[in-house]
Structure 1
Amino acid sequence: MATVTQLYRYPIKGLSAEALQQVFLRAHQTIPLDRQFALAHETTLFDPSEPRHLPKTDFLMLMKNEKLAALRTEYDDGTGILSIYAYDNQGDERVLCAASLYDAAGVARIESFFTDYLAGEVRGRVKLVRAEGHSFSDVAARVLSCINLATVQAVEEAIKMPIDPLRFRGNVHLNDLNAWEELSWPTGQLIRMGTATGRVLKPIPRCAATNVNPLTAKRDLKIPQTLLAHWGHVNLGVYVEVIADGELAVGDAFLTPF
């Protein structure tokens, strides 16, 4: 039996994780607000009236835009305001921009901020995109990304360096499993997650985004290469699809099989 130690959402694709204590999960949906917004290149063709899954290269993301990790962002559900923070040369955190993502003027401010912040890395200008009920995940299915912390520790031991689990941008962090145990769960395996039910979809292949240190915004590790060299694959964590509604909270059991 595994135990949920952390829950996270990522309201804007490529930006900060936001810790949660409890969520209500709905069948065939992500954690509420997870990857609800994305920062797209001007050349990206996305129609909010007919949303479809697009490759992550159509958006700003850590794999290509590691400077995003130098920012801390907070999204306020009640007001729709996104606040963007960074540390100055004195080590003090300051607000760089704050604006509503549901107001035309606010959206324009956010788009201008990222266009300037990532000058030279953006194809045209940045545009904020969203569509009701759509998630800008790396996969088309609406899923939870589940990370086994024992597996992260095994990689730490292999490279003899600490690894922040947030490199893997998971929704659910799990303790009380053996390293790599999650990769033994067969596709279709049912999981009791708090009072919700999930189904294992597939392992998560890791890309160069995991090379970026979420604290320093530096590319200081080679995670995919390390996985391949030591274990013969690039997978870490599994995607799980919610198939029955329920509550999931930090401290809950994560049972497979049940």
Structure 2
Amino acid sequence: MILSALYRYPVKSAQAQSLPASPVGNLGLAGDRRWLVVEAENGRFLTQRAWPRLGLVRASYLADDSLLLESPGLAPLSVPVPAADDGLRGVTIWRDTLRVPDAGDAAAAWLSGLLGKPVRLVYCPESRARYLPNGYGLNSDRAAFPDGFPLLLIGQASLDELSSRVGRPMEMLRFRPNLVVEGAPAFAEDGWKRIRIGAMTFRVLKPSVRCILTTLDPATGERSPDREPLTTLKTFREKDGDVLFGQNLAVDGEGQLQVGMEVQVLE
């Protein structure tokens, strides 16, 4: 088995970046989901679930670690990383509330114009990262702005099996993984507890619960009229009311990942 792809999402619910290699540590891949768009009025987080235009945002990092925002029809904007204790704003992501630095008025205006709604952009320094959901991981595990866990892994064969059942190819980026593994049977990752990729050890914490976001075309942001692949997933991947696809992970220590590395199941 090999690590066949690496993806990060600098801004939650914006476009993916495909990476040939990446540092990995307590918060997952370096720079992954460290930025979040929230409602200006109450700090509640926004995603493509309700705001598919977020999928038009291409976010990347410049040499000084500032964030470059790009979208069709808008001038690119460079956003400096705010200091960890400057302009703190209360935000809510699912059941978590935290105070994190605001990225400033220029970023807020750029994103508000795109979405047609008053929003702010916030940043999560490592010192303000969230704990994982109760009952999962270790006390030392943290996450920035993913739904709950620092890393998501999907087997390529699992996607291939799903595509076969749907009757047309499904894009991997509908599921927004960080790690894609090739060479394992379909849904083999469901039975893994610990794996090694290169020199790094990862703990498999829980299956990923999927939602309406998977029905959005990652290239266009358009929703599938037949609600695929969620419709098909419900026929064979539903358990206790949740539709499951992929596995959430945490990593032990820090290191480097590179596409092509061997993947070993330890437990």
Structure 1 length-normalised TM = 0.81
- 1:68 equivalent in alignment to 2:47: no
Spell out, residue by residue over 1:144-180, the C-alpha distance to the aligned partner (whole angstroms, 9 max, x if none).
1111111111111111111110111111111101111
2:70 maps to a residue whose letter is: I
- 1:243 equivalent in alignment to 2:252: yes
2:105 equivalent in structure 1:
108
Distance 2:66 2:237 in 1: 43
- CA distance 1:68–1:196, change in 2 (3 Å): same
User: Does structure 2 conserve the Cα–Cα contact (< 8 Å) formed by 1:197 and 1:245?
Assistant: no
Distance 2:163 2:40 in 1: 39
- CA distance 1:22–1:59, change in 2 (3 Å): same
Spell out, residue by residue over 1:187-213, the C-alpha distance to the aligned partner (whole angstroms, 9 max, x if none).
xx2211111111110110101111110
1:174 maps to a residue whose letter is: V
Deviation of 1:137 after TM superposition, in Å, equals 1.1
- 1:14 equivalent in alignment to 2:13: yes
Deviation of 1:99 after TM superposition, in Å, equals 2.4
Distance 2:189 2:42 in 1: 35
1:196 equivalent in structure 2:
200
Runs of 4+ in 1 over 6 A off after TM superposition: 103-106
Structure 2 length-normalised TM = 0.78
1:90 equivalent in structure 2:
none
- CA distance 1:97–1:247, change in 2 (3 Å): closer
Deviation of 1:244 after TM superposition, in Å, equals 3.0
- Map 1:44-83 onto structure 2 (within 5 A): 44-45=42-43, 58-83=44-69
Deviation of 1:216 after TM superposition, in Å, equals 1.3
Distance 2:244 2:103 in 1: 39
Percent identity, aligned pairs only? 25
1:85 equivalent in structure 2:
71
1:97 equivalent in structure 2:
76
Distance 1:236 1:106 in 2: 33
1:230 to 236, 240, 243: 236
- 1:131 equivalent in alignment to 2:88: no
Distance 1:40 1:23 in 2: 27
User: Does structure 1 conserve the Cα–Cα contact (< 8 Å) formed by 2:174 and 2:213?
Assistant: yes
Deviation of 1:79 after TM superposition, in Å, equals 4.9
User: Does structure 1 conserve the Cα–Cα contact (< 8 Å) formed by 2:57 and 2:69?
Assistant: no
- 1:5 equivalent in alignment to 2:4: yes
- Map 1:18-57 onto structure 2 (within 5 A): 18-26=17-25, 28-45=26-43
1:223 maps to a residue whose letter is: P
Deviation of 1:34 after TM superposition, in Å, equals 0.8
Distance 1:208 1:147 in 2: 18
1:30 maps to a residue whose letter is: G
User: Does structure 2 conserve the Cα–Cα contact (< 8 Å) formed by 1:194 and 1:252?
Assistant: yes
Deviation of 1:240 after TM superposition, in Å, equals 1.1
